[in-house]
Chain A
Amino acid sequence: MKHTISVLVENKFGVLARISGLFSARGFNISSLAVGETEDPTVSRMTIGVEGDDKTLEQIKKQLNKLIDVIKVVDFKEGEFVDRELMLVKVQVNTKNRKEVLEAIESIGAHIENAGSRSISIVATGDQTKVKALLELLRPFGILEVVRTGRIAMGTEDKGLKVEGKPEVNE
């Protein structure tokens, strides 16, 4: 099953290597990873997309929590978070299909950043479904390049993630 994990970590040198190293050493699969500073400059936040059964996810969370530089881990539940991804796409165009491509871009709500004679560069943001739909829509025209940031996610309402010390893992 697909999961979206959010991790608060110390904003220190080497932390990304610790996290990615843990995933590779233990054979956990990362489908996407996005990192950035939070409202507190000493803290970074990672959003990690992972796949695995319940047992694997449990291990991933526990192993992440064991890292000294990890402050907090949350595995978002369906319906309790919003997520977005930013994507840049360069699509091939010619005089014949130019209009069709522009229509497609408009229909999905993406923005044109650069329109050249042979290609159009667009920027799109959205959740996974939207980003995937846009790619499918553009694929027939010929995609030249795709750059994606990876998903970022935030819990809604009181499902947020704040630094207050790591929750006691007590079963």
Chain B
Amino acid sequence: MKLTGARILIESLRKEGVDIIFGYPGGQVLPIFDALYDAPLKLILTRHEQAAAHAADGYARATGKVGVCLATSGPGATNLVTGIATAYMDSVPMVAITGQVKSFLIGNDAFQEADITGITRPITKHNYLIEDINDLARIIKEAFYIASTGRPGPVLIDFPSDIQGQETEFIYPDKVDIRGYKPTYEGHPGQIKRAAKAISESKRPILYVGGGAIIADASEEVKKLAIDNNIPVTTTLLGLGIFPQDNELSLGMLGMHGTAYANHSIMESDLIIAVGARFDDRVTGKLEAFAPHAKVIHIDIDPASVSKTVDVDIPIVGDAKAILKQLNKAVKKPDTKDWLKQVEDWKKKHPLRYKDDDKVRPQYILEEICKATKGEAIITTEVGQNQMWAAQFYTFTKPRTMISSGGLGTMGYGFPAAIGAQIGKPKATVFDIAGDGSIQMNIQELATAVINKLPVKVAILNNCYLGMVRQWQELFYKKRYSYTSLGSMCPDFVKLAESYGAIGIRVTKKSEVRPAIEKALKTDNTVFLDFHIEQEENVFPMVPAGEAINKMLSGGLA
């Protein structure tokens, strides 16, 4: 049967199991939107293309499926860029489809033309410009395959509007064969044996687990390796949830704002078992000083992540789940009794603390949200202090419940990501932990949340500052608060929420915190909780930039 390019796109998406896409119309995607009008596939109309990309990203992270976003050419496409870069840094499977000016106009500086394949080359896993209608189905098949396999990532398809209207026979390929793309899944058996031996012989082992383990669905295998062998577990920001934080072997997050005991543990360890983590600078701190006594096992699907920063002794390239399964069979339990005692000692000496007085402290709010949701909510975050407090004070117990822009650190990510997550997981409680700065970067999405009747809750930790930058200015720039105060121009978030038809609740007293959260959880509406928190509250512990990660500032709390 002959179909138009636009129809082939829709049919191909259906073949890929896509039933929801996020997007925004425009001149060069009119044929696609016309086909969407009565298609068996729903488009969530965001109020900004950037939010469509973030929502597709949040949807992908919450469900493990490929997130799809759609925008028109030129400004529509460039508005996706931050969302695509965010997904790229955090290995999120995404297919972004952009309209392009008619193929014969490309290169002519046509109205709303942008070279989006050129612009997104360094921030996509791969991208395509459709030049021939007969390539379309194959390219879509390849795009989904590339986005979701190996180390996942965003793939962009640029689709000229004239080709959207052309017709051809629709044949969706069953198989993909790309000679330059053959990801490795099976770990090398010899390397797995060496790793097992190293673990069995270690005295002070530590598991350092990142987002890659969540992508590989390796939570059970990580748990087994840790619990059967008494190995403490620390995670990256994106790894939160892979290992239940209520387990005594959990050390929480490590790194710049990690727990002191996670940082001490990794620095003193004799063996680091890294799984789906990439030794990012926020984790290692001063590289030369990082974990000086440790041998390193690195399990990762991306060979380029191995020995990129930290030199690795036993690299194992492949799928974390498959490798850990093999490893679990081969490991003999090491004797870690003394080590665990030491770790326990650090935990007792340097717990996460805050001043628990009668003021509205953000850490207290996170603890209360955690209690009220029994630690089972999907938490999305913006970027900055809100993100770090969420990472520190919410107790994550399940994978895919912490959704945050880790690599790129994109303010404005959390709210649209929460929308995407809620659409992907309609029954889940979804909480966006926000700051008053970040939330204003995609606040227009209130409309999307309300019109789609999404019960997303947004906890604005409102300190009238760009808090994290202010914290750096306080600590390292002699309190010269250069352009970080939003105080005089902070909107009334309650009225703002109400103007969109959402519910707004303001909290100015500690005693109001829990009741407000309960009230928000009881309603099926979108809720903005405007928590007026201690304005100059800081995130501690903190490792100053360029320092070793056991040289933490405790803010006088330890």
Listed in ascending order, the chain A residues whose CB lies under 8 Å from chain B are: 9-10, 13-14, 17-18, 21-22, 25, 55, 58-59, 62-63, 65-71, 163, 165-166, 168-171
Contacts and interface: CB of A to CB of B under 8 A. Distances in A.
Smallest CB-CB A-B distances: 5 pairs: A62-B304, A171-B315, A68-B126, A169-B303, A71-B180
Contact size class for B? Answer: 20 to 34
Interface stretch (B114-122, B379-387, B390-398, B403-411): B114-122
Given A18-B121, A170-B184, A71 B179 contact: yes
Given A71-B179, A166-B182, A170-B184, A59 B302 contact: no
Contacts of A65: 303-304
A18 B121 CA distance: 7
Interface string B305-327: 01110000001111000000000
B125 interface: yes
A9 B181 CA distance: 12
Contacts of B304: 59, 62-63, 65-66
Contact of A14 (B117, B180, B182): B117
14 contacts: A13-B131, A14-B117, A55-B307, A59-B308, A63-B304, A68-B125, A71-B179, A165-B182, A166-B179, A166-B182, A169-B184, A170-B184, A170-B188, A171-B306
Nearest to A25: B122
Contacts of B317: 169-171
Given A69-B126, A165-B179, A171-B303, 9 more contacts: A14-B117, A17-B118, A25-B122, A67-B126, A67-B180, A69-B180, A71-B180, A166-B181, A171-B316
- Among B180, B191, B306, max chain A CB count under 10 A is at B180
B180 A171 contact: no
Contacts, number: 63
- Among A10, A21, A59, A171, max chain B CB count under 10 A is at A171
A166 B303 contact: no
B121 A70 contact: no
Interface of B: 117-118, 121-122, 125-126, 129, 131, 146, 178-182, 184, 188, 191, 302-304, 306-308, 315-318
A166 B316 CA distance: 18
A17 B118 CA distance: 8
Contacts of A13: 129, 131
Nearest to B122: A25
A122 B181 CA distance: 44
B117 A68 contact: no
Nearest to A22: B122
Contacts of A14: 117-118, 121, 129
B158 to A, nearest CB: 11
Contacts of A17: 118, 121
Contacts of B316: 171
A21 B122 contact: yes
Contact of B121 (A21, A165, A168): A21
A157 B44 CA distance: 59
B180 A62 contact: no
A65 B188 CA distance: 19
A59 B317 CA distance: 15
Nearest to A167: B182
A166 B308 CA distance: 21
Contacts of A68: 125-126, 146, 178, 180-181
A21 B121 CA distance: 8
A62 B179 contact: no
A55 B129 CA distance: 34
- Among B118, B129, B181, B318, max chain A CB count under 10 A is at B181
Contact of B302 (A10, A66, A168, A170): A66
A70 B188 CA distance: 23
Nearest to A71: B180
Nearest to A168: B184
Given A68-B146, A163-B179, A166-B180, A62 B121 contact: no
Contacts of A70: 180
B160 to A, nearest CB: 14
A69 B179 CA distance: 8
A26 B91 CA distance: 18
A22 B191 CA distance: 30
Given A63-B304, A171-B315, A10 B180 contact: yes
B175 to A, nearest CB: 15
A14 B156 CA distance: 14
Contacts of B188: 170-171
